Amino acid sequence: MSNTKNWPLWEVFIRSRNGLNHKHVGSLHASDSEMALENARDVYTRRQEGISIWVVESKNISASDPKINEDMFDPAADKVYRHPTFYDLPDELKHM
Amino acid sequence: MTTIDLEDQFMKRVAADEKIEPKDWMPEKYRKTLIRQIAQHAHSEVVGMLPEANYISRAPSLRRKAALLAKIQDEGGHGLYLYCAAETLGVERDTLIEELHSGKAKYSSIFNYPTLSWADMGAIGWLVDGAAILNQVPLCKCSYGPYARAMVRVCKEESFHQRQGYEILLTLCNGSAEQKQMAQDSLNRWWWPSLMMFGPSDVDSTNSEYSMKTKIKRFSNDELRQKFVDATKPQADILGIKIPDSDLKYNEQTSHWEFGEINWDEFHNVVKGNGVCNKIRLKERQQAWDNGKWVRDAATAYAEKREQRKNESKQVA
């Protein structure tokens, strides 16, 4: 038998209807991807919450470190010129 | 940054109603309090399936049976959402299950009371799920993100649990005199244990202060208990059955229903493991776990074999 006591952990993503992104809904344990998909169906779509499921083994996800959030995301903070409201245009110009 | 600085920063974030996420720094006490509470909550969902399971084959109609099955399946799902939330705090699922089975971890004492008649399925839905919902709705705003998100899903799914229970009692109360008596008897037995579900009185609640300070909890045990009594009294009136408390009376000044003294000796006794069903619930949980072992082992072996075959065919190619 395998040494790990728990089955691997999987992250579950559900597309609620076509046209929308898959969205992270939670996680579950399963021995393989097939079981993860079946369990995800039983656990996360009992009330027609989705029409498509992705499962990804949690260990395969690389996440950014919140401790370095300043370095990571601050460069975007002082670049207001990336937003349309930064530009002064006359009121007569109705839609742009 | 020193731990004191980090702790200070953490408390500021919590005070500003920011959510704490798994990889964020958090005080050890916050982590431990959450693991204890979320695990206890998860265990309650899973153990809570047992008193109802007995009635799947005894439901009086297909409609009732389908609803009961769906409710019990939801509870399994809710247990899973919660175990997953606990796992984001760095605890292993198997450890949590072991702690339940060994008796180290607690679950809601309400499930240590026996379900003696079909009316109990009604009373559990109405009172037990009703009390659980009052507890859980504020948890949707809990400071810990994964717990709050799990609670949003649980609350959304659980509202039918209470309604189906109330409908069971309504049907009994509109039936024969014996059926109405069944409903009354069930209320008599479940009323006080339901009030105890909110936990010890605020003056005796050891964990409450820290949980309130870190916004894990938003209302005190006594506040929620009062809300429950206020909400439930008119519902009992509609059913036409009587809440078994001779001290229950409306206070015009406070607009609250005042109620009698809770038997805290009974509460502590059941928490300690001396309730009517403590032993059988744990035994049944343990049995379910043991009986499922071959399934867990087979699935693991199958996954390993498939992985191995995949690797072998890669080498050949």
Range of weakest confidence among A68-82, B36-50, B86-100, B215-229: A68-82
Q: Is the pLDDT of residue A77 over 90?
A: no
Which of A29, A59, A62 best probes binding to B when mutated, by most B CB atoms within 10 angstroms? A29
Q: What is the pLDDT of residue A1?
A: 42
Q: Which residues contact B49 (CB under 8 A, 6 or more apart)?
A: B72, B75, B76
Contact present, B195 and B262 (Cβ < 8 Å): yes
pLDDT tens profile B172-211:
999 999 999 999 999 999 999 999 999 999 888 777 889 9
Put simply, the answer to whether B87 touches A2 (Cβ < 8 Å) is: no
Amino acid occupying residue B256: H
Put simply, the answer to whether A6 touches B300 (Cβ < 8 Å) is: no
pLDDT tens profile A14-58:
999 999 999 999 999 999 999 999 999 999 999 999 999 999 999
Which two tokens mark B146?
A: 């994964």
Complex ipTM: 0.86
Average pLDDT, chain A: 91
Confidence class of residue B252 from pLDDT cuts 50, 70 and 90? Answer: very high
Average pLDDT, chain B: 95
Interface size, chain A vs chain B, as Cβ–Cβ contacts under 8 Å: 53
Confidence class of residue B84 from pLDDT cuts 50, 70 and 90? Answer: very high
pLDDT tens profile B67-82:
999 999 999 999 999 9
Q: Count H helices, E strands: chain A?
A: 2, 3
* Domains of chain A listed by start with CATH number: 4-82 (3.10.20.520)
Q: What is the pLDDT of residue A96?
A: 85
Confidence class of residue A78 from pLDDT cuts 50, 70 and 90? Answer: confident
Query: What percent of chain B shows pLDDT beyond 70?
Result: 100
Q: Which residues contact B285 (CB under 8 A, 6 or more apart)?
A: B46, B47, B50, B100, B101
Q: What is the pLDDT of residue B317?
A: 67
pLDDT tens profile B262-310:
999 999 999 999 999 999 999 999 999 999 999 999 999 999 999 899 8
Confidence class of residue A4 from pLDDT cuts 50, 70 and 90? Answer: low
Q: What is the pLDDT of residue A24?
A: 96
Q: What is the pLDDT of residue B204?
A: 85
Which two tokens mark B271?
A: 């928490």
Which two tokens mark B178?
A: 């014996």
Which residues from chain B sit within 8 angstroms of residue A43, using beta carbons? 77, 80-81
Contact present, A30 and A52 (Cβ < 8 Å): no
Put simply, the answer to whether A28 touches B23 (Cβ < 8 Å) is: no
Which of A5, A23, A41, A62 best probes binding to B when mutated, by most B CB atoms within 10 angstroms? A5
DSSP code per residue over A54-91: EEEEGGG-----GGGHHHHHGGGTT-GGGSGGGS---T
Range of weakest confidence among A21-30, B46-55, B132-141, B200-209: B200-209
In DSSP terms, B3 is beta-bridged to: none
In degrees to the nearest 10, what's the CA dihedral of B253, B257, B260, B266? -140
Q: What is the pLDDT of residue A2?
A: 43
Put simply, the answer to whether B74 touches A46 (Cβ < 8 Å) is: yes
Whole-angstrom Cα distance, residue B200 to residue B93?
A: 28
Q: What is the pLDDT of residue A3?
A: 47
pLDDT tens profile B86-131:
999 999 999 999 999 999 999 999 999 999 999 999 999 999 999 9
> B78 to chain A: nearest residue by CA?
A43
The H-assigned helical ranges of chain B are 3-15, 28-47, 49-53, 62-87, 93-102, 119-123, 129-139, 145-173, 177-196, 208-213, 221-239, 264-269, 278-291, 293-316
Q: Is the pLDDT of residue B220 over 60?
A: yes
> A41 to chain B: nearest residue by CA?
B77
